[in-house]
Amino acid sequence: MEGRNEMEFPFEYRVLDSEESEAPCNYFNKFVTKVIRLGSKGYFFFKEFDSTALDIYNMPLRPSDTFVVTFPRSGTTWSQELVWLLQTNLDFEGAKATPLVTRFPFIESTGFWKLNFPSEYYQDDNFEKFMKEVYATSPEMIKSLPSPRFIKTHMPLSLLPPSLLDTAKVVYVARNPRDVAVSNYYNYKSQNIVPVDREFKPFWKLFMENKTLWSPYFEHVKEAWRQRNHPNMAFIFYEELSKDLPGVARRLAKFFGKEYSEEQFEALYNHLKFDNFKNNKSVNMAEWQEIGVMKGPFIRKGKTGGWRDHFDEEMMQQADRWIEENLRDTDLHFPTA
């Protein structure tokens, strides 16, 4: 809770040696020079995330907090908007008037602000403004926000405050790892984390080798899956959102103790309908595309199974073996895409 004493971070991090870090550092852009493994599962981060991770682990929590936790590109933004609206009595006007990054801050984004961006990375005068508004969120800043607080994170549960599930509400969203890899690839390129000329196949190899940000993917998801029956945890799949948005919305409304009329639910579904959602400037960072900070759309196609357009036969076989191996010790199964 907010008055507790700060705890030490129980996990040490390991800076990858030159041999281990060569492939990811060569694939990512110039500002990535050192990478680390953090925690017992060896989660992969830029070196600049070490102090951010400690701050997050020690962040004071409130019973009124709501977290959306995902591995990146698992339907995070769509879920955030759904959760925020359900928890704020369907405040559509507030949702349209205030950017999602303000309503639902990204807790570890301050780690990006610590990166040493080379001068040629971005020349526009708006770059610093963009970084401060989108990537300078910190646990200290979130600490000062009034309740109720809405917090987005890609951190795995083991690196979040230990009392999280016993204190706050958590919505975890998982997605087929093949689609996650493709979506991350395009997102990294759109934000210039990966140069535009990089091919997908080497990225897929790094993804399977747990050498992309916030990986290992399966450990991330399985940590949450093991907690899926906790009364403060709602575990959903992106594929469920895509195929049955009304069903997921009603399940989450019950989870939050909210009741809405049929007309209100219909208005919610219309707001979140993908074509409407993609064109919603409050969530799609359109202004950053206009000034060139993002080289492509933040919200892409919103469909399941798009990975099939990017995988050759060899990659499909690799994916089947990799997924089977990682699901062998669990009853977790991804919905058919």
CATH class of 62-327: alpha beta
| Mean pLDDT, residues 180-197 taken together | 84
User: Is the pLDDT at 109 greater than 70, yes or no?
Assistant: yes
Q: Who wins on pLDDT, 185 or 292?
A: 185
pLDDT level of residue 139 (50, 70, 90 thresholds): confident
CA distances from 145 to 6, 104, 142, 181, 185 (A): 19, 11, 5, 33, 33
Residue spans per domain, the chain: 62-327
| Side-by-side strand order, sheet with 66-70 | 150-153, 66-70, 169-174, 233-237
Residue 59 has φ and ψ, to the nearest 5°, of -70, 130
Percent of the chain scoring above 90 in pLDDT: 52
For residue 288, what pLDDT is reported? Answer: 54
For residue 4, what pLDDT is reported? Answer: 41
For residue 1, what pLDDT is reported? Answer: 39
| Mean pLDDT, residues 60-81 taken together | 95
User: Is the pLDDT at 256 greater than 90, yes or no?
Assistant: yes
pLDDT level of residue 11 (50, 70, 90 thresholds): confident
User: Is the pLDDT at 87 greater than 90, yes or no?
Assistant: yes
For residue 273, what pLDDT is reported? Answer: 83
CA distances from 133 to 126, 128, 231 (A): 11, 9, 34
Average pLDDT over all residues of the chain: 85
User: Is the pLDDT at 116 greater than 80, yes or no?
Assistant: no
